[in-house]
Amino acid sequence: MEKIIIAGHGSPKKDANNIEQVARLLHGMVHPGCAGDCVRVAYLQFAKPDIMQAIADCVRDGAKKIIIHPYFLSSGMHVTTDIPGIIKDARGTYSDVDIIYTEPLGIHNKMAEVVLERIAASAGRKPQEIEKRSFEIISDEVDLSDIPEERQPIVKRVIHTTADFEFKGSLVFHPDAVKAGIEAIKAGKDILTDVEMVRTGINKKLLEQWGGKVVCSIQESGVGSKESGEKTRSETGIESALKQNSNIGIIAIGNAPTALLKVIELCGQSVTRNPAPLVIGVPVGFVKALESKALLASQTVPFITNLSRKGGSTVAVAIVNALLKMAEEK
């Protein structure tokens, strides 16, 4: 078993002892989806646990290999003398445990990028400029050349929204999805959402110039579950809106798998109009989320989805807004 310890200096000011956030981010990158405490924090002074205690805790929990990273910018006395001294004592106490000591943060090109972002933020850079720079960073860090050009703006905007490069591999498109979405927008079609969060995030200014509006008909009745035989609010709202509104051209589901399953069912019953609306189905969660998206990916109607448990309202919004930007540019 391997454990990682992020070792910081520590401060008398409690709010400054916050490298736990860094540990959580690192844990998500090293062991995505893991619920364990594989990445831990320790402090040289002023805060707990100290480095020796963190090592002891890892050994107690069964670690046979411990990687210690000094969360320091440079190789000062703490990095070259104090922490190595503690590690030397730990190696003497736990001789059967492999303890590895890494270099500090030091000089790295990504550090310069962080400084650049901080400078841009302090200079009051306009949101458009910050977004442009963010998209440039995404292009530098991930190769999208294997993705059809028309889909790249959508993939980029989802990555930009989530800071999660895994969406490059999990997003799935019907061959006519992008075309159907842009045509629906330009034809003044409405966009139906499953929840208010998706409706709120969509750029209505871009949509309204074509004559469309965003609709969310989530209902107060039917708050049960599919298992109990009672429809959920979002499911009821989707069904009601599709039967009453003949101008829906895009359906964006970011929260409720039951709503997506209802959309798929209604599309199969030809309740939706011809041409069929673009279905953006990216609900997040562990119950029926992936299953509903896999089912959507097998349909003949235009769709955009992602084959993973990840997703959510922000992802649905990002896809819709990417299409709106593309429609405006075209």
pLDDT tens-digit profile of 117-149?
A: 777 666 656 667 777 777 888 888 889 999 999
Based on the fold, state whether residues 90 and 130 are members of the same structural domain: no
| Residue 115, pLDDT score | 80
Would you please indicate which residues are annotated as catalytic (active-site) residues?
160
Q: Which residues 6+ apart lie within 8 Å of 174 measured at CB?
A: 180, 299, 301, 302, 303, 304
Segment holding 290, helix H or strand E: helix 289-296
Per the structure, how many domains does the chain have?
3
Residues 42 and 90 in one domain: yes
Q: Are residues 173 and 307 in the same domain?
A: yes
In this prediction, residue 325 carries a pLDDT of 95
Domain that holds residue 129: 108-141
Q: Which run of H or E residues covers position 250?
A: strand 248-253
Rg (CA), the chain: 25
Same domain, 7 and 39: yes
Tell me, what CATH number does 195's domain have? 3.40.50.10230
Q: Which residues contact 275 (CB under 8 A, 6 or more apart)?
A: 180
Angle at 194 between CA 191 and CA 196, to 5 degrees: 90
Contacts of 220 (CB under 8 A, 6+ apart): 233
Whether 125 and 200 map to the same domain: the answer is no
Whether 136 and 159 share a structural domain: no
Give the pLDDT confidence score for residue 224 in this predicted structure. 45
Does residue 228 have a pLDDT over 60?
no
| CA-CA-CA-CA torsion sign (120, 161, 278, 188) | negative
* 66 and 207 part of one domain: no
- The residue-averaged pLDDT of 225-241 equals 69
Least confident of 232-246, 281-295, 299-313: 232-246
Q: Within this chain, do residues 65 and 168 fall inside the same structural domain, yes or no?
A: no
User: Which DSSP state fits 94?
Assistant: -
Query: Same domain for 158 and 303?
Result: yes
pTM listed for this prediction: 0.62
Together in a domain, 84 and 134: no
Pair (300, 167) in one structural domain: yes
Closest Cα to residue 322, out of 104, 101, 167? 167
pLDDT at 223: 44
Tell me whether residue 39 is exposed, middle or buried, using C-beta atoms within 10 angstroms of its C-beta: 0 to 12, 13 to 18, 19 or more. buried
pLDDT digits (tens, 9 = 90+) for 5-18: 999 999 998 888 88
Same-domain status, 7 and 128:
no
Q: What is the pLDDT of residues 59-90, one digit of tens each?
A: 999 999 999 999 999 889 999 999 999 999 99
